[in-house]
Chain A
Amino acid sequence: MTARIGVVTFPGSLDDRDTRRAIRVAGAEPVALWHKDKDLKQVDAVVLCGGFSYGDYLRAGAIARFSPVMGTVIDQARAGLPVLGICNGFQILTEAHLLPGAMLGNDHLHFICRDQKLRVENAETAWTTDYTAGQEIHIPLKNMDGRYVADRRTLDELEAEGRVAFRYVARGEAADGCGNPNGSLNDIAGISNAAGNVVGLMPHPEHAVDPLIGTGRTDGLPFFTSILKKLVNA
């Protein structure tokens, strides 16, 4: 048996097809979900993919959070449904208060697209068990509003509970995708909720699943194999 993983398409979603492909490459069954549809088609997990939902003219993710599909996603995520938010998906998860904090514009005020070096900090969430803690990986990053911020208490809580899932690697040669690319507090690239079923990150693991494509690395695949194993073994 395999797992069915839903990928939501909002108007303005861009990486929905790529994310479905990554799920397929990992061996799971991708299921297309539509923003106007409350029905999650009985999927076992959901990915909110990258893009500019509803144009993101108000604030990234601010409108998507109120879509019909998100009503169901929010309810089920609180009940334990695994949810991964990538880039715009991460922004939507913070707007929906499934994850704490918020994303501001990059400190250099430019869109940035590069192969970003990350360190896996928590390899025990639903989406990260195929990594090892401390592992360094390269995942493409591409965004305008990627600067993670939260108040000091929230940051302390995230750190204390080990909920910082991915961190930008601060040192090394800049040419190697090192360094905090946007001014995110605590070099945070991704976080999880307390239960570990909801994970959000700015870089795009779905763009790193095929050695021929993009940066030529497959460091993003473990996201999808992690969840598949968890669901199949459940």
Chain B
Amino acid sequence: MSRTPLDTVEHAAATPDVELPWAELGLKKDEYERIVEILGRRPTGAELAMYSVMWSEHCSYKSSKVHLRQFGEKAPESDALLVGIGENAGVVDVGQGYAVTFKVESHNHPSYVEPYQGAATGVGGIVRDIIAMGARPVAVVDPLRFGAADHPDTKRVLPGVVAGIGGYGNCLGLPNIGGEVVFDACYQGNPLVNAGAIGVMRHEDIHLAKASGAGNKVILYGARTGGDGIGGASILASETFDDAKPSKRPAVQVGDPFQEKLLIECTLEAFAEKLVVGIQDLGAAGLSCATSELASNGSGGMRVTLDDVPLRDSTLSPEEILMSESQERMCAVVEPDKVDRFLAICDKWDVIATVIGEVTDGDRLEIFWHGGKIVDVDPRTVAHDGPVYERPYARPSWQDELQADDANTLPRPRTGEELKEQVRTLVGSPNQASKQWITQQYDHFVQGNTVLAQPEDSGMIRVDEESGLGVAIATDGNGRYAKLDPYTGAQLALAEAYRNVATTGAKPLAVSDCLNFGSPEDPAVMWQFAEAVRGLADGCQQLGTPVTGGNVSLYNQTGEAAIHPTPVVAVLGVIDDVARRTPVAFQEEGQLLYLLGDTREEFGGSAWAQVVHDHLGGLPPKVDLERERLLGEILISASRDGMIDSAHDLSDGGLIQAVVESALLGGKGARLVVPDGLDAFTFLFSESAGRAVVAVPRSEEVRFNDMCGARGLPATRIGVVDGDTVEVQGEFALSLAELREVHEATIPALLA
């Protein structure tokens, strides 16, 4: 075997003219020049590997950073926020000494290439983020977007994604309690697989990704490092070494949920014994990210011996080891006298753990290989001082035309019979149909704390068995609304998730997001992004719910065609006693149905426009966040004081969709009367925001009405829970049996 000399720091300094494949690794010329300027010499191959992955769009947020700053600048006053943006995940105080961490991340591109593993490792990554904060993961949620339901490729992608989420999450013992499944042709070729997770801990257990205390040991534990998930590193490797090794590496990582389950248990045991000073999971950019993040967030430097990293493949080059995205690995900083105990816990769980370095009192990150120093950098320049772009953005020329194409002028049903037919079509359309075929592939019972799970408005988990304290989470995002108006669309996503949390009786506290967009190099997409971020930041400020962190996924487009701008918003809420939660299902016949909020003729971006007319145009529904807040307060009070027995938010599909869902889940029908001042069509199909339908026991009617009246929230009695049909008086009636058949048959017919 012939080898070129190891590209050490000394070697790099002595050979300034060696050309490195920076372009193949995705760096721009000015970015490479900046690295040379930072180092005062050319980078070594290993340094270039680290910079190239850490300065990638995915890790550095270089296109989105200038906009994301608004989340901090406009952050509302909140006592609840314990850890904000910038850590692995935000942490929120939920009372009684408990803290909750939650986050949503995208795994879009890998899930298109390899649906099962892409989705599975998406779950794995977000769960490690949660563990890295010191929390026990208690639930996952999965907002998903796929191409047209009847497109042949959807039948390849969706079952794989669902099986991957289930296969990984079920093996971890995490209940899957929420999320959404939406079909739209715009996601053909660019499905969105967002994965969210929640973790619970005591306040004193919060851990951060920082390496402090000179002499403390850096321990890599979990799976061995392999060649999976390496993109451009093989280019570097071939520059340095001969090619006596497997040449084709899988670009998508492979998950091992069993290993991750062991990782969870042994990490939590180490936390419980107070053995950990700092911790970081290995996700995107692997060791490059973990070492540079830990070192740059701490007080000292770090020295790492790469030869000590346990490998699956002994032929890996140091560059590949630094870039590998092998799953199920974590990196902990541990005081020297606690190392033995830490390693013993890992051994108990049969988890491989190795000391690979230590914290130094300098300020450099130094990495050694075969005795030579191959990395000598200021870790901040790798982890935090990446390039920042002010990408040009401009309102697209077609936006006016799109908005002028008013959905309110579309032909409407004129008879009861036509209304009935359109209701059938709506509740059986792929986006409005039951997703039970999908969600029953997820375990939602494990851990024994699931109070509510999909198809409820939000998932709810009991945190404390004695007091009944619980947390709720909802994720929402309507790409059709955002396409019509990204600013409003982002606020509607926020409003819906906020409302969904309040509908179950929980008080919304904080926000996380996953911002899915097309290419930032397209000024129109960048405008959508800028508008959506501005809308979300303004909205969070107004609602008093800070953004605790989030994720950006760009380049979701094929050729010129970008996906609809799809900001997915997660809202976390708290409920003092889960016994007070409000379910979606109708509970008792005879209870009175009230519509809360104002109904206007708003059909732009609606499910009705899509299903009946295949139309997207006009303006999305108006947002009134003060109204959302009032509605939320009423729903929470009514839940706490036992004034309502069921509640459902109104969103896509409007009132009729909500009533049908409540009826089917409860096995009880409803008789509805069109209120004065509204026509039946608008009453049933409008998607005006800030609304919910609630079932009020007759004994509570006066009290409930008084409360709404006193607070100034419009509450209109629209009917009664009754019988085994959903009837709109004077218009039509549909039996629950028929509705159930229509609602539940669609997805299995398309996918099973």
Asked if residues B258 and A204 are in contact (CB atoms below 8 Å), the reply is: no
A229 CB-CB contact with B under 8 Å:
no
Q: Are B445 and A112 in contact (CB under 8 A)?
A: no
Given contacts A12-B258, A55-B171, A212-B451, contact A113 B462 (CB under 8 A): no
Q: Assess the B350–A11 pair: CB atoms within 8 A.
A: yes
Q: Which of A11, A17, A56, A110 contacts B448 (CB 8 A)?
A: A17
Task: State A213–B451 Cα separation when bound (angstroms).
Answer: 5
Encode A22-62 as 1/0 by CB contact (under 8 A) with B: 10000000000000000000000000001110111100000
The reply to whether A206 and B440 contact each other, CB–CB distance below 8 Å, is: no
Report the nearest B residue to A109, measured CB to CB.
B163
A21 touches B171 (CB 8 A): no
Given A55-B171, A111-B167: A213 touches B449 (CB 8 Å cut-off): yes
Q: Does A207 contact B (CB under 8 A)?
A: yes
Asked if A18 is an interface residue, CB under 8 A from chain B, the answer is: yes
| Cβ-defined partner of A51 (8 Å) among B167, B173, B462, B744 | B173
Cβ-defined contact, B261 with A113, below 8 A: no
* A18 CB to nearest B CB, Å: 4
Docked complex Cα distance between A110 and B349 (Å): 29
**How does the 8 Å CB contact mask read for A196-231 relative to B, with 1 for contact and 0 for none?**
000000001011001011110000000000000000
With A12-B171, A111-B441, A175-B740 as known contacts, state yes or no: A18 contacts B448, CB within 8 Å.
yes
A212 and B462 form a contact (CB under 8 A):
yes
Q: How far is the CA of A12 from the CA of B258 in the complex (A)?
A: 6
* A54 CA to B259 CA, complexed, in Å: 9
Inside 8 A of B256's CB, which chain A residues have their CB?
Answer: 55
CA distance A206 to B450 in the complex (A): 13
Given A55-B256, A212-B578, decide whether A207 and B170 contact each other with a Cβ distance below 8 A: no
Once A112-B440, A113-B441 are accepted as A-B contacts, the answer to whether A52 and B448 lie under 8 Å apart by CB is no
Residue ID in chain A nearest B167 by CB atoms:
A111
Task: For B259, give the chain A residue with the smallest CB separation.
Answer: A55
Task: Pick the residue among A15, A57, A110, A140 that contacts B173 (CB under 8 A).
Answer: A15
Give a binary string over A97-130; 1 marks a CB under 8 Å from any B CB, 0 the rest.
Answer: 0000000000010111110000000000000000
Q: Are A14 and B173 neighbours in the complex by a CB distance under 8 Å? A: yes
Across the interface, which residues of A come within 8 angstroms of B349, CB to CB?
11
- Chain B residues with Cβ below 8 Å from A52 are 170-171, 257-258, 261
Q: Measured between alpha carbons, how far is A158 from B684 in the docked complex, in Å?
A: 56
Residues of A within 8 A of B468 (CB): 212
Q: Give the nearest-CB partner of B349 in chain A.
A: A11
Cβ of B678 < 8 Å from any Cβ of A? no
Q: Check if B14 is an interface residue, CB within 8 A of chain A.
A: no
Chain B residue numbers with a CB within 8 Å of A57 are 258
Complex contacts, A140 vs chain B, CB 8 Å: 445
Chain B residues numbered 406-455 whose CB sits less than 8 Å from any CB in chain A: 439-451
Q: Does B166 contact A (CB under 8 A)?
A: yes
B694 CB, min distance to chain A CBs, angstroms: 20
Most buried by B among A114, A142, A207: A142
Which residues from 348 to 380 on chain B have a C-beta closer than 8 Å to any C-beta of chain A? 349-350
Produce 1/0 per residue, B438-479, CB < 8 A to A: 011111111111110000000000100100100000000000
**Interface Cβ pair total, 8 Å cutoff:** 90
Q: A110-B441, A112-B440, A112-B441 are in contact. Are A213 and B450 (CB under 8 A)?
A: yes
Q: Is there a chain A Cβ closer than 8 Å to B579's Cβ?
A: yes
Contact B448 A207 (CB under 8 A): yes
Chain B residues 239 to 264 lying within 8 A of chain A, measured CB to CB, are 256-259, 261-262
Give the residue name and chain of the A residue nearest to B583 (CB).
A216
Q: How far is the CB of B268 from chain A (nearest CB, A)?
A: 12
Residues in chain B near residue A18, CB distance under 8 A: 446-448
Min Cβ gap A85→B in Å is 17
Min CB–CB distance B400 → chain A (angstroms): 47
Within A50-79, which residues are at the interface with B (CB < 8 Å)? 50-52, 54-57
Query: How far is B167's CA from A212's CA once the two chains are assembled, in angstroms?
Result: 27
Q: How far is the CA of A110 from the CA of B158 in the complex (A)?
A: 13
Most buried by B among A15, A113, A214: A113
Given contacts A52-B258, A54-B258, A142 and B451 within 8 Å (CB-CB): no
Q: Find chain B residues with CB under 8 A from A204 CB.
A: 445
Q: Which residue of A lies closest to B461 (CB)?
A: A213
Q: Once the chains are docked, how many angstroms separate the CA of A32 from the CA of B163?
A: 32
**Which residue of B445, B462, B465, B579 is within 8 Å of A142 (Cβ)?**
B445
- The answer to whether B442 touches A113, judged by C-beta atoms less than 8 angstroms apart, is yes
Complex Cα distance, B745 from A68, in Å, reads: 48
- Contacts A11-B258, A51-B173, A57-B258 given; does A207 touch B441 at CB 8 Å: no
Q: In whole angstroms, what is the CA distance A190 to B742 when docked?
A: 34
Inter-chain CA distance A17–B173, complex, in Å, is 11
Interface string of A159-177 (1 = CB under 8 A from B): 0000000000000000100
User: Which residues 161-179 of B sit at the A interface, judged by CB distance below 8 A?
Assistant: 163, 166-167, 170-173
Most buried by A among B262, B462, B465: B465
Proximity string of chain B (709-752) to chain A, C-beta cutoff 8 Å, 1 when within and 0 when not: 00000000000000000000000000000001000100000001
**Minimum distance in angstroms from A134 CB to a CB of chain B:** 24
Q: Is the CB of B262 within 8 A of A110?
A: no
Name the residue on A nearest B261 (C-beta): A12
Instruction: Give the docked Cα–Cα distance between A110 and B160 (Å).
Output: 11
Pick from B440, B578, B579: contact of A113, CB below 8 A: B440
Q: Which residues of A contact B448 (CB under 8 A)?
A: 15, 17-18, 21-22, 206-207, 210, 213-214
Q: Mark B633-662, 1 if CB is under 8 A from A, else 0.
A: 000000000000000000000000000000
Cα–Cα distance between A22 and B167 once the two chains are bound (Å)? 26
Q: Which residue among A56, A204, A213 has the maximum number of chain B CB atoms within 10 Å of its CB?
A: A213
> Which residue among B166, B349, B462 has the maximum number of chain A CB atoms within 10 Å of its CB?
B166
Contact in complex: B440, A55 (CB < 8 Å): no
Nearest opposing residue in chain A for B256, CB measure: A55
Shortest C-beta distance, B452 to chain A (Å), equals: 10
A-side contacts of B445, CB under 8 Å: 113, 140, 142, 204, 207, 214-215
Query: Apart from A21-B465, A175-B744, what 10 extra A-B contacts exist at CB < 8 Å?
Result: A11-B258, A11-B262, A12-B261, A12-B262, A15-B448, A18-B448, A22-B448, A111-B170, A111-B441, A113-B445
Q: Show 19 A/B contacts (Cβ-Cβ < 8 Å), sorted by A.
A: A11-B262, A12-B258, A15-B448, A21-B465, A22-B448, A54-B258, A55-B171, A55-B259, A56-B258, A57-B258, A111-B170, A111-B443, A113-B443, A142-B446, A144-B170, A212-B579, A213-B449, A213-B451, A214-B450
What 6 pairs between A and B have smallest CB-CB spacing? Answer: A55-B258, A14-B173, A18-B448, A207-B445, A140-B445, A111-B441
